[in-house]
Structure 1
């Protein structure tokens, strides 16, 4: 066991190096030679006045090989249709969402269709809108832009200009001046006749060129698509209105790869920053920091009560009772670090690496301790016997490595962007491994029940064995209910709840875990008057070399049957 714990700890330290790749609610994802037809970038619950800031850069798509008028490329931003169920997913329909002419419902749907030929992004809105879009509008395509698009290797690459009061096109190398026509020079003038600001004020000038669009009005904005060498990019900021708050899904679509045949690779980098008025957490995650710290206090209190019980009945305490105490304290500490982790995500937009490392280590230890404790109790170790059979030892050889793998998958998922292909691979691994562990943990309980059933009819101690049989049957039902509730029922409740109440899923999981811990401790409490753990007191009923389990202080000590009855029989025969 100590070697298993040491391996878990070392693995935890090694895996925390992966944390440098994740940026929590400030996302940055780079995909190279990607072939998926849809990339789920993120899901986020917005309250009113929440903001979504998206910047696409380094977009490279096959030029001249795909007809983008029939197979468009771009983003879709959709709100959930019924509470937590998204209005559509990439697998829900065979048609590309970017080709939709109208929506099937009134939920807000915004499409950003990239037009590479005209260097523009066409925005299409559907449903009832109450959002504000802020972005750089499309300008007339100038000669410099056409040159940059047609000759991407040119050192002087221009950025698209805007109409009206927009800033001028600037070459990439500002030390080189590009001859400008009279029309281009006029674009570079502002209304007051002053020339464009100097490069050190370029950020402020760009901010002034953005236009605000009220998407509730019947309009189809056209945004600017910037070109830099052979890469394309654009950005937009969306403010959520009071009537449009909800759970939103942001996806990138490359509709050509939905068709049969060879897939066309593409590459891009996208930065996504999501905020609610209170911080960087989604609506369903805002209460989690307070929830976890409160549940940590409850688990810590329960652990102290358990330790007090162990000290009060110290002569009936077994080693597994202290293991149960260690599990409760580890669970409490893990929740404390989890709460701190969410606090910094909410305030900073990303976790503080040191606190995140501590959370993942304690989470890994908690998972290993939980399944080790469940397996030991299920085999009846210390309560019925103190030696594990070879068959029972194999369960630990399977469950412990699987638990390490499950925690590895969890850490990778937490530190990987949702849009990456590895995210879904490790998510499937975590789900499968978790189910295998939950199923494997039931075998020791079944073996103990079968052993007690056989013993109740052969060793003459039917009453006591039937009591223990009843205990392990209750324990089996408890484990099954706990697994079904936390893995199935709670998830079903989560997707049917309103988006702002989905934190109740975590609350239900933590409360069910607390109830399971308390019931397990009550059933296997170290009390001398516990009917499930008592052994018969008559010496004639105790067979030779039977293990004494009435007292934890005598754990592992055996009794030898006395021979006084034989001497009395011999005395009677002589008379």
Structure 2
């Protein structure tokens, strides 16, 4: 019943995979239509020295607005942040009503769009430890900042001042060349307090979004293309030194200025990011080698397990062969995962065929893992060949939830981070995965409770206590596996620097490998295994007959004797009288 429902769920998940477009890549293409979000997380990428990012924005428009130059109720822009780990930035915790474009935080580069002047103004990135950002209108033409005109206007006024000063000093004919540098220094000295006033005025102008010549002194402004209500531009930056290395996050912001009414916007963006000789992020570069190495470990573990099963054929049950399929499926999943990352590293996007094969093996691996844990906890094939009603309910809950969790993982990996569905499926994955981890503990808890009651009622206390100890160890193993892979490893992923985020994957794979090996060791096919010494009844009629024989007065003093021949593979039951 469990295996049949697993196959049906796997078939339905495979059908879903056929309709999921694979776009898991580092060459991103995101299209947003009629989006109402104030903050869109476009991408996060870790850069080494000589890494680069190129962002191209096209078809930026607002619904119901044909002329963006007359739009004064909305503010659009981007923010670029650099961190050393995967923790959240401080400005992300701000209230949604406080727009980052109006109250800029410290250490964050802001790109403010001004459609009335057809410009985009950016803060001085070099002053806050970020690489220099270069804007362009096309793939070849670079745009010079519009900050230069106000700087040229100031020296144009100096000739008039010079003429007045030269007219006021006609007597010093020989010193006409000497006093000329002195008036040059005086305007510059007078310009310094003006720049301080300009910085203050620019902050006020950002809140009221009033364009002035003073604000252009602190912000570099570039021309953008705005035609028929659609804006387009592109920018890029290079990580030239080791001090600029870090984890960069790019966000898009849409903030209402005067009223709180948010208008839907549409956007099409292309992002290309890469490190030297690789399109992978800094924390993902070691992953292909890691997955290949762990695939070899799981494959060797599967071969050792098959050798043990062939050596102990008399004590092998069906679930042992199901356990043998788990390490091989896990190994195949890791191999296909490594192939995916290899193609992403070399060309920036995966091959759809390899990606789909990886998703299928990943789904089968997850389903086999949880089903095997649940079957061992219920005692299927070891103790009984028919699942009870409680066990069936657990499988009816665990299997669909596990399939849903894997489908959510596949959708997250195959969609862009900035889409609205990404955050929803990420929450679904987290919730469903925790429910699955909690549900598989119930069969083990029921078995422990049953063994505790059995050890207190019948005369086989020693054997039941050994079984109880084994199940308690298995329960602790499951709890440690769940906590380590779902909670502790996530904390490690957030806490470590961005260069060592691959340690999360290493610890997760090692924890899975250790759990599978310990499970095989605890429930290996052996005649001295206390788990295999449980009474093996062929069907429920034997249990009913035992209850009748031990409760009737005519059979008082009659007891059931179990004889085991060839380990536990050929149990025989006989009845004898103590008289």
Name the TM-score class by shorter chain.
0.7 to 0.9
Q: Deviations over 1:508-533 (max 9, x none)?
A: 00000111111111111111232443
Query: How many Å separate the matches in 2 of 1:92 and 1:467?
Result: 56
Is 1:132 aligned to 2:132, yes or no? yes
3-state SS in 2 of match to 1:383: coil
Shift of 1:135: 2.1
What residue is the counterpart of 1:153 in the other structure? none
Change (3 A) 1:133 1:550: farther
Query: How many Å separate the matches in 1 of 2:565 and 2:356?
Result: 41
Q: Deviations over 1:348-406 (max 9, x none)?
A: 11110010011000001111111110000111223333332111111111111111111
What residue is the counterpart of 1:305 in the other structure? 304
Change (3 A) 1:318 1:561: same
Is 1:46 aligned to 2:47, yes or no? yes
Query: How many Å separate the matches in 2 of 1:501 and 1:86?
Result: 17
What residue is the counterpart of 2:321 in the other structure? 322
Query: How many Å separate the matches in 2 of 1:535 and 1:375?
Result: 18
| TM alignment of 1:70-469, pairs within 5 A | 72-80=75-83, 82-94=84-96, 95-101=98-104, 103=106, 107=107, 109-125=108-124, 128-136=128-136, 220-242=219-241, 243-256=243-256, 261-469=260-468
Change (3 A) 1:473 1:260: farther
Shift of 1:24: 1.4
8 A Cα contact 1:534 1:550, kept in partner: no
Query: How many Å separate the matches in 2 of 1:535 and 1:414?
Result: 44
Q: Deviations over 1:413-457 (max 9, x none)?
A: 111110000011111111111011111000000100010011111
What residue is the counterpart of 1:6 in the other structure? 7
Change (3 A) 1:346 1:507: same
Query: How many Å separate the matches in 2 of 1:549 and 1:543?
Result: 20
Runs of 4+ in 1 over 6 A off after TM superposition: 64-70, 540-543, 545-550
Shift of 1:71: 5.1
Query: How many Å separate the matches in 1 of 2:7 and 2:380?
Result: 22
Unmatched 5+ stretches in structure 1: 139-159, 165-217, 570-575
| TM-score normalised over the length of structure 1 | 0.78
Segment of structure 1 superposing worse, 18-27 or 522-531:
18-27
| TM-score normalised over the length of structure 2 | 0.77
Change (3 A) 1:260 1:519: farther
8 A Cα contact 1:19 1:353, kept in partner: no
Query: How many Å separate the matches in 1 of 2:281 and 2:42?
Result: 15
Write 1 or 2 for the structure with the bigger share of helix: 2
8 A Cα contact 1:468 1:533, kept in partner: no
Segment of structure 1 superposing worse, 1-10 or 24-33:
1-10
3-state SS in 2 of match to 1:560: strand
8 A Cα contact 1:79 1:86, kept in partner: no
What residue is the counterpart of 1:208 in the other structure? none
Query: How many Å separate the matches in 1 of 2:272 and 2:68?
Result: 33
Count of paired positions: 482
8 A Cα contact 2:70 2:116, kept in partner: no
Shift of 1:314: 1.1
Change (3 A) 1:424 1:296: same
Change (3 A) 1:89 1:271: farther
Change (3 A) 1:509 1:345: same
Change (3 A) 1:161 1:531: closer
Unmatched 5+ stretches in structure 2: 146-216, 537-549, 551-556
8 A Cα contact 1:318 1:552, kept in partner: no
Query: How many Å separate the matches in 1 of 2:403 and 2:562?
Result: 37
Change (3 A) 1:481 1:260: farther
Asked which structure has the greater CA Rg, the reply is 2
Shift of 1:85: 1.6
